[in-house]
Structure formats: structure tokens, C-alpha cells
Amino acid sequence: MAKVRKVFAFEFFNLISKKSFILSLILVPLIPSLLFFVLGRLNQDQTQSLTQIFTSEVANPLPIGVVDQSGLVSDYPSWLTRGELIEVVDEAAARAQVEQNQIEGFFLIAPDYLESGKVTFIKPEINMVTEIMQQHTLDNLINYNLMGQDQELYLKYTNPVNFNYNFVNEQTADKRDQESPMTMLVPYLITMLFYMVILIGAAFMINAVGKDKDNKTIEILMTSTNPIELFFGKLLAYGSASLLQLLAWAGAFVLVSKIGGTSLSFMQGFDIPASLFLWAIPFFALGYMIYGSLMAGIGAMAPNIREGNQSSFILMLPLMFVLMNIFQLIDKPNGTFTVFLSLFPLTSPVTMMTRLSIGQVPLWQILLALLLLVLFVILTIRAVANLFSSQTLLSGDKFNMKTFFRTLFVGK
């Protein structure tokens, strides 16, 4: 145990005193903080939506003209166009208004629109973001006119069903504000944060073991400590450093959300559930232990850091799978698929955080996920211990995934 402590102290302080680590600790939260600070300053005097902040081309955007050669569009209600679209009699007049800077550009609806659906957008400057929005408004305007300019019918068409939810289980009730961008953004960011921190912690481990091989210190260490002490010392050191990173980044995330919440409309009312912070540490610690141990196993078997890193990809697939399905998980936080991933030990550390960032998760599911994780950690560490033998560590043989898994599951 004393040697585990010594390995821990050396590796931990060695890592946290590195410039790259300190910089990542500061810069990762600093960059979004600065972004939100700037947005907050811009937004101090007027409550703009995030979309408006990013899409306002000029201080007072000019309207877009509509030259309707088909005769379909005759009503331009302001509740629909919001002044963004105005009627222009013909193409020549529209071109003249563009030149006189009265309109930004114009849509030319073809005479055979009903057959061809042809609309030409004529505009001196291209802006992909605003154009999508302007085209969307034109779509709405045409639909409204095609429906005989019946506002009620049109609104029913655009929003055909008003669901009324009655939640059987209040604990898992999805009471999120579907209109708020934060409903998707917060779980996404928290999932990404956990994914990154576990991935970085695991990468630290593979590099730490590989570094001992590359520096040829492994043989010296083998004459002073046994491989298992070395493994645990490193696992704890890099786990602690990653936890420090997680706390710093999560703290900055909360701070940013508070700052943003006071100055940005889209962040107002946004709150991270307190339970997330309570469960974050055990889920991170156990998730890190699984992936950190597996990575250390690869590091022990691979002849150098480069080959180890190349081979580590396959072990990260379960976490990548979570990211690939992130929107489905956020959409249905209590669906069968999401619940399964939040209980399965290789995906639960990240998926459970996604669910907790959305809202309440039944306590039994959290406890079951933790229990399964603890059991899986024990099995993983026992399996990786098979790889942490002097013979493997000192071997210069090429890495072989088949041998890796065989040693992991069957032993030497």
C-alpha cells in the first residue's frame, strides 16, 4: 500500500504540474465563458433570442420582396410575415427597389408555380442562415394563401395536435419545455463533458503505462514495486487528476450557466438538477475505473504509446455508441433503450448522467446501475491484473487484440 501511495503521489503531481494540464483546466471552461460573456454584453439592453443574435445580418434588416407571377399570393398578414416579406408588383420594380436599398432581395414566384413549384430567389449577397429562415417564411405565406387565407385553418395545419399529458409516474414525468433550446443543449453538453473526462482519464492511463515503456523505466520500477502496485498507483493518480478536471469544468459550466442566465434570454430559467452533482462523482469514478483499467491493460501489452493508442479505439466503442444515439436518449430519457444503456456498465456512466441532467431518475435504477458498475469494476480490474505481469510489461511484442482479450478473460 505504501508503494501505491508513492506511485500515486509522483504520477499525480507530475501530471497536474504539467503546463498542458493546467492550460486545459483553464482554457476549456474559459473559452465558452468568454463566448457567453460577450453574448451577455451584446444582449444587455434588449432581450433577443439566440437565433436572432447569430442571424441578424445588419442592425435593421431589410425586407424581402415577393413578385408573384402566379397570382396565388394576395394576402400578406403581418402576424405571419412579421414585416420580413412585402409585395412587389413586378420583377423590374423589385430590381429597382434592391438597387435603391429598399429591399434586401426578392422571390420570383413563377406563373406555373402550381405545376412546377418554381420560385427564384434573387439577392445580391448570400447568407445561408438567413436565407433558410426567409424561405421558411415564404413557404408559410404560400401555404396560408393556398388555404384560402383562413388563419384558423392555417394554424391548425401547422400545429395539428395539442397533446395533453397525464403522467402515470410523476417521478419520471417529462415536464421539459420543448420550446427551450436548453432542453436539448444541457443534456448534450453534460453527456459530452462526461464522455470527454472519462476518455481523457483513460487516455492518461494508456499514456502513463506506455511512457514507462518508452522511457525504459519499467524495468527499474519492477525492481522496486510489483506490477499491481504500479497499476493501482497510476489508476488512482490519473483518476484523481481527471476528477479534478471534471470538478473544474463542471464548476465552470454551472458558473457560465448562472452568468448566461442573467443576461441571455434563452438561458433564463435554466437549472441543472442538484441530484446530478450528487451522483456525478460515483458514476465518473466507476466509469473511469473501467475504461482506465482497460486502457492500462492495452498500455501494458502494447510495445509503445503509439501502438497502444491505435489499438484503444475498439474499447471506446460503447461510449461512442452513446454519443451516436444521444438525441434519441435525450428525446426519450425513460425509454427502454435509454434505461438499458443507463444500466449497462460500459455505457451507464455517461447515459445515467444524460438522464439525470434531464430530470428525475427512479432511485432503484441509479442504485442498480451503481451496483452493476461496482461488480464490473471488480471483474475488470481482476482481468486487467492478468495483463500487468512483468513478462507482459517488459515484452516488446507487437500488440494483438486477440491475445489481449484472451488474456483478459482467460488469463495467461
Partner 1 sequence: METIIVKNIAKSFGKTEAVKDVSFKVSPGIIFGLLGPNGSGKTTSIRILLDIYQPDRGTVEILGGPMDEGKLNKIGYLPEERGLYQDVEVNRCLTYLATLKGMSKEQIAQRLPVWLERFDLTAHQKKKNKELSKGMQQKAQLIAALIHEPEIIIIDEPFSALDPVNTQLVKDLLIELRNQGKTIVMCTHQMNQVEMLCDRLVLIDHGQVLLEGSLEEVRERFASNQILIQSDNPLPQEIAGVESIVKEGLHYRLTPSGNLTAHDLLRELVRQGINLNTFQVAVPSLDEIFIQVVKEGRNDHEQND
> Which residues sit at the interface with partner 1, rule CB under 8 A?
3, 6-7, 10, 14, 211, 215-225, 390-391, 394
Nearer to partner 1, 265 or 389 (CB): 389
| Minimum gap (Å) between residue 340 Cβ and partner 1 | 42
Nearer to partner 1, 19 or 175 (CB): 19
| Minimum gap (Å) between residue 13 Cβ and partner 1 | 9
Nearer to partner 1, 118 or 306 (CB): 306
| Minimum gap (Å) between residue 331 Cβ and partner 1 | 46
| Minimum gap (Å) between residue 402 Cβ and partner 1 | 15
Q: What is the spatial distance between Cα 340 and Cα 369, in angstroms, rounded to a whole number?
A: 10
Nearer to partner 1, 220 or 281 (CB): 220
| Minimum gap (Å) between residue 300 Cβ and partner 1 | 14
| Minimum gap (Å) between residue 14 Cβ and partner 1 | 6
Nearer to partner 1, 118 or 398 (CB): 398
Q: What is the spatial distance between Cα 219 and Cα 24, in angstroms, rounded to a whole number?
A: 32
Nearer to partner 1, 112 or 219 (CB): 219
| Minimum gap (Å) between residue 180 Cβ and partner 1 | 47
Nearer to partner 1, 123 or 211 (CB): 211
